[in-house]
Structure 1
């Protein structure tokens, strides 16, 4: 690993290392099989129930489940692994995977999956790809989802705007957002904004661009692609040219930005995902529904996110840990997770048979259909999160109006190539 990447990661971990050591509960590995989970209170309770079912079926296994803070799980996990006392099984978000898998401390699962004939064909391919690092599978997802959108039906009805359809486009999004950016009290400031666009990746991909490309087997910046510029310009125009999105932090505004939320009824279209369902299901001030992310010139391409179970390579009971993992991600378990109404089961059959429920007042099947399009991941590389943060730091100048899109992209392009060149130079013996 390049020293400058390694130093950045070490610096980020060092601050929490001592706290992590002090906060870990140490258990004799030969006596107790430990499992760490994190998530919402409802998810944590479900994990407890599923683990309790396993204990009932296997009373000979001493399985201890601990709920840990998601923000600190990687620091705690790596500290425990280095000390030789880590949880046998641990939940990881897919973006945490490269940092842990790159240490060689996770148990490869490919042989176990083949041996036990796990029905991988029933999984959404992107879900298993999310837990594959440099060609090796290290985890099995328990849930996942992609970007969709929510819309305020009351606002659409009040102003006579047609609802989004499956074939709507980014141009349609802009047209509807313009029509639904409303100055209700005629004071010169919008009281309702047309949309909140979420992050920029799905726009770049749907315009046909990408952040990186490969040349001679190595990554280089793709931020000089005109399609990337088109996507970033579209995104920036939502804020500055068309003013259909509430100002971003760092932009001077007379409006109180914190009040402009979908939940408050002041955003007509919110680009988000099904992880917001537990919150939105409590809304009673207006009717809302869900729709697919709009199509761009390159179709509908959206970002995936997931949570999955992994096994520590140092576990003294790999077969038992694998048996527990299979139980935690079984169709029965993911069916129960789906009933919480947040994210999708990773298996197609479970998603299609369980997630769309007739009793819900919104079109829940949208979230299942969203997985039938080009659902994508960022590069599963240790350095990606650091590089992506640096890209966005440069693009922020355009997203906050301090620079033009062309200027910000030129700087981001240079920063990206410099980063990658240094990384590859330090990898060469």
Structure 2
């Protein structure tokens, strides 16, 4: 995934596009379902009896080759189905899907953040896949339950997991040491982190524009680390059952005031960072920490950074960690032959063999715990898949159809107002909470 978070950071922009053209997208997905997209014949049969499936995804970064390796192995493992990956930036992917109705050449399989799937499922754009999980031959019982449940909306599952991972805190050991801090003792609580901010944010000439920051914390087009921080005080964007806005609750306001003060007044992070900006700041040694996923590890290694990885600092009342899942879905109207072929690929992807190859090559923890001891080429799947971290993991806005709208059109703009001094947290977010509730009630 590219430096966005990868799918997630660019995906958020794509969601806005998809929301604007939801009706068109529904037609596009339905119209292009089951085409086999090779263009060589019915059901993608190019004359050799194979069903060809086009798989659109946004794994444009260092984990892309690992995805392609699993696909290559699947294609070689049998002679009835061929998967062809079309890897593109997430915003491009969504633009192409939106216009696919014109050329009737959309994907057979599409990947997206599972937390976004309800938004499309509510519009009838995806095919339910509960029968995939009901088939014992697919060995879904070995998968992490959280990865499976991430794509459930209104009691129906619409996706099969590509990956599942908590976010972790990368920290620059050299910057810690230069600040007089123990490079082997990253902060474990919010208060510990706040105490380090004056040492890790460096403004050498006192012009109010630090040359180095304590952290790189995005406030738009990024993995939703900031809204997940509300969990640390017992708050949140919405209630766990997805029915009630919590942005105006005292617990949520406490968390927002804490972090807005750190960024706005104590210069812990620059204001206005996208996810890609945050990645670049840490990668270039200008930020001491960043909370992000395993897709960035190769880039940080290639940059020669001396970094460590630790769980994000725990809040005063909760140590919940943001997790994300990317799932594969099928367009509504997919025919039976295409569906069966896709299910065969899904089963291989999440097989012991497929997950070992994926984890070794990507740094993501495998979707199934029973292959953890087989993942030996990279140390990072074990770090991100550590049981102590996994037990803290939580998915933001899971099962909330309005999740994309809430994050993109309400939370981020409200946060930016508070960071830029266009009002206070205590006035901005209660009003935003009313907007969130209106979206939930639709």
Place the TM-score, normalised by the shorter chain, in its bin: 0.7 to 0.9
Distance 2:95 2:18 in 1: 14
2:171 to 148, 151, 170: 151
Q: Tell me the residue number matched to 2:251.
A: 227
Q: Tell me the residue number matched to 2:409.
A: 390
Distance 1:88 1:188, change over 3 A: closer
Asked if the contact 2:100/2:106 (under 8 Å) is kept, the reply is yes
- Aligned residue runs from structure 1 range 331-410, under 5 A: 331-351=352-372, 353-354=374-375, 357=378, 365-369=382-386, 370-392=389-411, 393-410=413-430
1:261 Cα offset (Å):
1.0
Q: Tell me the residue number matched to 1:315.
A: 335
Distance 2:392 2:141 in 1: 17
Q: Tell me the residue number matched to 1:195.
A: 215
- Aligned residue runs from structure 1 range 267-282, under 5 A: 267-282=287-302
Distance 1:82 1:112 in 2: 31
Distance 2:20 2:266 in 1: 43
3-state SS of paired residue (1:336): helix
Q: Tell me the residue number matched to 2:348.
A: 327
1:366 Cα offset (Å):
3.3
Distance 1:52 1:403, change over 3 A: same
1:334 Cα offset (Å):
2.0
Q: Tell me the residue number matched to 1:254.
A: none
Count residues in correspondence: 402
- Aligned residue runs from structure 1 range 45-124, under 5 A: 45-59=65-79, 61-69=80-88, 70-74=90-94, 76-77=96-97, 87-124=107-144
TM-score by length of 1: 0.80
3-state SS of paired residue (1:54): helix
Q: Is 1:212 aligned to 2:238, yes or no?
A: yes
2:272 to 208, 224, 248: 248
Larger Rg: 1
2:203 to 183, 188, 191: 183
Deviations 1:196-248 (A, max 9, x none): 2343122101211022238xx88232222111001100110112232222233
Distance 2:38 2:75 in 1: 20
1:165 Cα offset (Å):
5.1
Distance 2:430 2:70 in 1: 51
Q: Tell me the residue number matched to 2:60.
A: 40
Distance 1:167 1:373, change over 3 A: farther
Deviations 1:145-197 (A, max 9, x none): 22211111111122221246588111111112222122345666432211223
Distance 1:283 1:16, change over 3 A: farther
Distance 1:52 1:381, change over 3 A: same
Q: Is 1:128 aligned to 2:148, yes or no?
A: yes
Asked if the contact 2:366/2:381 (under 8 Å) is kept, the reply is no
RMSD of equivalent CA atoms: 3.7
Distance 1:15 1:211, change over 3 A: closer
Asked if the contact 2:63/2:295 (under 8 Å) is kept, the reply is no
TM-score by length of 2: 0.78
Asked if the contact 2:31/2:104 (under 8 Å) is kept, the reply is no
1:402 Cα offset (Å):
1.5
Q: Tell me the residue number matched to 1:253.
A: none
Q: Tell me the residue number matched to 2:19.
A: 9
1:67 Cα offset (Å):
0.6
Q: Tell me the residue number matched to 1:237.
A: 261
Unaligned runs of 5+ in 1: 251-256, 424-429
Asked if the contact 1:391/1:415 (under 8 Å) is kept, the reply is yes
Q: Tell me the residue number matched to 2:9.
A: none
Asked if the contact 2:62/2:295 (under 8 Å) is kept, the reply is no
Q: Is 1:299 aligned to 2:318, yes or no?
A: yes
Q: Which runs of 4+ in 1 moved over 6 A?
A: 5-8, 15-18, 81-85, 257-260
Query: Which deviates the most, 412-421 or 136-145?
Result: 412-421
